[in-house]
A and B are shown apart, each in its own frame.
Chain A
Amino acid sequence: QQQVKQSPQSLIVQKGGISIINCAYENTAFDYFPWYQQFPGKGPALLIAIRPDVSEKKEGRFTISFNKSAKQFSLHIMDSQPGDSATYFCAARSGSARQLTFGSGTQLTVLP
């Protein structure tokens, strides 16, 4: 019940296209859903996050869509750029717990 399932495992998008990464969870106690971005040779870094009381959050070209009833959330990258090529992890946290449960990651490649 603690798992966060992420898909696809890898994604190739043309420059200017839309990248979409999906995550699903079972634990209804999760109350915070961040996305982390990891470049090769670096540690993951927080990209954007959402709470379940909103259905969408947008920061620049990055948007999280959240469907509480379906227990799903997704990351949309608009106008994808080669510099967006990285591994993206969704995650979830419950209540006052400090630990995050991470998805398995999606390796995004944006072709020039």
Chain B
Amino acid sequence: DAGVIQSPRHEVTEMGQEVTLRCKPISGHNSLFWYRQTMMRGLELLIYFNNNVPIDDSGMPEDRFSAKMPNASFSTLKIQPSEPRDSAVYFCASSHSGSLYEQYFGPGTRLTVT
């Protein structure tokens, strides 16, 4: 039973480069969440989708960040251009409407921007 799948697991890039993080939610889940985790700010919700539609993107730090969910089984989080302060672990989580309470998190992508 596959959980939430994220790729890549680790990403090292130089400042100014474009970074794309990918997520495959659990099959049948209709809500998807992107989080960012840092020591300083903890776990922050960036954006969430319901039925592939962005519902709340108020956590997206700035215009350099964008997220898409073209279908129920795939989402991307893009950072362009990347900056050193974007270095963090980015998590994707999914849930289904029958269990609004429990979010299933992926293993995360550790992003380092040098």
**Cross-chain contact of B108 among A43, A103, A104 (Cβ < 8 A):** A43
Across the two chains, which residue of chain A brings its CB closest to B108? A43
CB–CB A43/B101 < 8 A? no
Binary interface profile of A, 29-59, with partner B (CB < 8 Å = 1, else 0)?
A: 0001010000001111110010000000000
CB–CB B45/A46 < 8 A? no
**Cross-chain contact of B48 among A49, A98, A102 (Cβ < 8 A):** A98
**Cross-chain contact of B42 among A34, A93, A104 (Cβ < 8 A):** A104
A83 to chain B, nearest CB (A): 19
B72 interface contact, C-beta 8 A: no
Count class of interface residues, chain A: 10 to 19
Known: A43-B106, A43-B107. A93 touches B45 (CB 8 A): no
A45 to chain B, nearest CB (A): 7
**Cross-chain contact of A100 among B42, B91, B103 (Cβ < 8 A):** B103
**Cα A99 to Cα B48 with chains together (Å):** 8
Chain B binding surface, main DSSP class? strand
Known: A43-B93, A93-B100. A99 touches B105 (CB 8 A): no
Chain B residue contacts of A66, Cβ below 8 A: none
Known: A98-B50, A99-B33. A44 touches B43 (CB 8 A): yes
**Cα A41 to Cα B89 with chains together (Å):** 9
CB–CB B50/A43 < 8 A? no
CB under 8 Å from chain A, chain B span 30-50: 31, 33, 42-43, 45, 48, 50
CB–CB B102/A46 < 8 A? yes
Chain A residues within CB distance 8 Å of chain B: 32, 34, 41-46, 49, 89, 93, 96, 98-100, 102-105
For this complex, 27 residue pairs linking A to B, each with C-beta atoms less than 8 Å apart, are A34-B102, A41-B107, A41-B108, A42-B107, A43-B91, A43-B93, A43-B106, A43-B108, A44-B43, A46-B101, A46-B102, A46-B103, A49-B102, A89-B43, A93-B101, A96-B100, A98-B31, A99-B33, A99-B45, A99-B48, A99-B56, A102-B42, A102-B43, A102-B45, A103-B42, A104-B42, A105-B43
